[in-house]
Amino acid sequence: MNEITAAAFAAQSEGVLTRRQSFGLVERRAALARLALAVRQNELALIAAISADFGKPEAEVILTEILPVMQEIRHASRNLRRWMRPRRVAPTLATLGTSARVRSEARGVCLIIAPWNYPFSLALGPLVSALAAGNSAIIKPSEMTPATSAVIARLVHSVFPPDLVAVVEGGVEASQALLALPFDHIFFTGSPAVGKIVMSAAAKTLSSVTLELGGKSPTIIGPDADLKNAAKWIAFGKFANAGQTCIAPDHVFVHRSVKGEFLTVLREQIARSYNTGINSPHLARIVNEQHAKRLADLLKDAIGKGAQITLKGQVTGTCMEPTLIEAITPEMDISDEEIFGPILPIISYDDIDDVLGQMNAKPKPLALYVFCKSRMLTDKIIANTSSGSVGVNLTVAQFTHTGLPFGGVNTSGIGAAHGHYGFRAFSHERAILSNHFSALPLVFPPYTGRAKRLIGLIKRFLG
């Protein structure tokens, strides 16, 4: 595996200078068009593979795996000419007589390490940005979704030469071998714990990084919220992909005055969405038995410490129905660990300031959701918290907006992706300053009386 990894990296490294000359707008658009065609041609194979890996429904595969990639391709292709165009910058007083521009250039050879929860879209989505920016890339799919990993490898091999895009399959050893190489940029999606390992490895070669991590994304329901709308969005955002979504609502703070009614409409919404029980064709499975056991242990720990089950979902192997729990306390494991499954804690509150205090005592989440009609309360929550993104009266949809940056803050991520932000993540913004008739040589040494007077005059204007 190390030999394969080194060979792929060497082939792409040798082509860096050539790509700078020959991989322009036309070639990048053509590469994206070939990728789009391959995705369409492999749609049935992708649906079957993701179903085999963890039983995701066909409609959900199309909605959350295939459409995001196709949207990224379409958006990048339409806007690539503008993104690539050098950007002129106005001169400052100190640089009068010069012209300035910023040129977006490919970083070089990039590594994309994809997670298992959305194994296709989180591998191919960053690839779109890497290619749009003019890079080559090596993709490392997750070994926890082997069927999808195999389809990605076949798809990429059918479209691109290995000196432009390659796929390296394998487990931890493959990841370690890749991280030991001096990539120009590393794009990682996964847990904060593994993100620290990736960043540590990148530091050894001074590779730049984009880290899409996670965290416990909170949801706040105000006393005036549209509860039926909140229930629809929360049920979808939380239980799609069986809760295995980095921006899924992790827990819900609901105002005590509407808690009872909210629980009623939420249970009704869950029943409408997944009403055929544990074998519902609309419900994905937990990815493997290890993660299913982790979720069962979280639930067992919470119940043992006083949590109450409001809606008990059945559990059979890796199948787990939506589960609602209450009476959460800080000493429970579920209060600190990202749930990443179909268990939703419901926490009542009276004072929004108490909620904000609890949120700010925790690491900054990847997403925050607010359901409220009051603009004043919504603005207060946003102004007094920090998160990668905010959804107001909706959940998870911010991920699909190609005009918005997608990324976290500190423990929930570094950098941003999607659309132009993804293009910039995989680009070096090179500053170019050209002299025409700059007067700065007048203040070069020796520092005569005239030079000192000119420096004093500049200081008056600039200092």
DSSP 283: -
Euclidean distance between CA atoms 418 and 146, whole angstroms:
26
C-alpha triplet 45, 51, 52: angle, nearest 5°: 90
Euclidean distance between CA atoms 462 and 51, whole angstroms:
63
Per-residue CA distances from 382 to 370, 391, 437 (Å): 9, 10, 48
Euclidean distance between CA atoms 265 and 271, whole angstroms:
10
Pick the catalytic residue from 110, 246, 319, 372: 246
In the Cβ-directed half-sphere of 192, how many Cα atoms lie within 13 Å?
16
Pick the catalytic residue from 60, 65, 72, 212: 212
Residue located via tokens 């000493």: 331
Is the Cα dihedral 31, 153, 142, 204 positive or negative?
A: negative
Euclidean distance between CA atoms 204 and 344, whole angstroms:
40
Q: Do 360 and 260 meet the contact criterion of CB atoms below 8 Å apart?
A: no
Kind of pairing between the strands at 185-189 and 208-212:
parallel
212 in catalytic set: yes
Kind of pairing between the strands at 315-316 and 308-311:
unpaired
The alpha-carbon radius of gyration of the chain (Å, integer) is: 25
Kind of pairing between the strands at 109-113 and 136-140:
parallel
Euclidean distance between CA atoms 109 and 447, whole angstroms:
47
Residue located via tokens 């500190």: 410
Residue located via tokens 């300035």: 100
Kind of pairing between the strands at 308-311 and 323-326:
antiparallel
Structure-token pair, residue 186:
């590393």
Kind and range of the H or E element at 82?
helix 67-84
By annotation, the residues acting in catalysis are: 212, 246
